[in-house]
Structure 1
Amino acid sequence: MAGIPPQQALYVHNLNDKLQKEELKRAIYLLFAQYGPIMDVVATKVLRMRGQAFVVFKDVTAATTAMRQLQGMLFFDKHMKIQFARTKSDVVAKLDGTYSAKKKRERKEKERARERAAAKMKLKRSQQSAIQDRDAKRRKVEDEARARERERERQREREEKRKKEEEEEVPHRTLFVENLPDEAAGNPEMLAVLFQNFDGFGEVRIPPGTPPVAFIDFANALQAKEAKSGLQDFKITYDHSLKISYAKK
């Protein structure tokens, strides 16, 4: 490869990553050994290094010949790609006296530091995601609680308004009934069966018109009040609840 000086170590990649490590090393050794003495074959189980290997020859000439002869060769159903390794192998460095255990330890420590930093960053992202999820759930719970409180407040306001209207009403012996179903028109018996259960009941009057309304007569205002309290909001049908007030004098 241009820019990488010839050396004894070859970087072989695009290999079949389904092979076991020892099987791959043995096959590579047998294939490359025909071009010269091999000092080492390196392959690992690390996921990011699968399908890759390093072959270290005793001399540069053998490595160069092997690279030229085997470049692109079909090897276990894949075409090999070969180039000179970018760094000198430990085996070669030990032989020529350039090996430095300290430098190797430093490289490994840098690699471990990068791995620790990556793991730390992954953990941090995971924690941030967990915090965001927790905050989102908390906000949802708080929003739902506020919505329920607003609904309770509206309900209290409606109830207070209704009570105030009732207090402001002038009691009368005749009740005015609204929110009746259409079938109540011309059918006073529909309401009579309800109101006749209260003392003082007189009659039900349903004047013509739509929507239907009714006037319920009682003997006195006190008896009318009892009937009003007893049947206020009574569901006469699934969709209709009685709305009862005192008739205007």
Structure 2
Amino acid sequence: MASETVYLKNLNERIKIDRLKTELQHRCAKYGTVLTIVARNTLRTRGQAFVVFSSAEEAAIAVKALHKGALFGKRMIAVLSRSRSFAAADALDPTGAEEYKASVREKRAKRKEEEEQERKQAKHAAEGAEGPLSKRRRTEETAGGRRGGAGGGGKERSMPPNKILFLQELPPGVQAAPLEAVYDKYPGFLEVRLMAVRRLGFVEFDTEEHAVVAREGTRSLVLEGYPVKVTYAKK
């Protein structure tokens, strides 16, 4: 359904929240009535904000105007929220807000179970991409590569094309925003999902063809000084 909430990401994390919200209020007011802005400086939510408008039409206009616009030295990524945010529910439907929130929390719990399944799939995908090398052999090859590249002779088993790319050896503590900035320029980009603890990620596109183009364009991807291995996820 149409959403009254605009989701902003790739915001400058160094800007204080009060200043960020003030500037967003000033900019977004040009496109409609802003009911509330939600932005927090937590590990999971920094660099992001939700702007709730009084109507879905106003939110759609704001997305077109704000997407890839510069704010505090970074280009924003603006999209419509996939569902009504809690802030929008409180502002637009106070009587039904609690029931709506309970429904969303139930869906999130289900999603958490699905993410656990994704972690298992990621393990299989990593094993498929690396081949049947033992942990000791992989460690030796990594060490050999750091000494000059002479020690890494194992061949990787490539996965067939898929609309989901599989990223390995991401920088420690990586956030989604830098990857979104890389892949957003490719047609059909949908989302980035991270397993930061294991330095793994998935980048999803709407079609296999678009994923192939993006993979070809990021074969030599280096992020924060770390060469990232980009393959296809296991089907």
Query: Shorter chain as normaliser: what TM range?
Result: 0.3 to 0.5
Higher helix share: 1
Q: Which has the larger radius of gyration?
A: 1
How high is the TM-score relative to the length of structure 1? 0.39
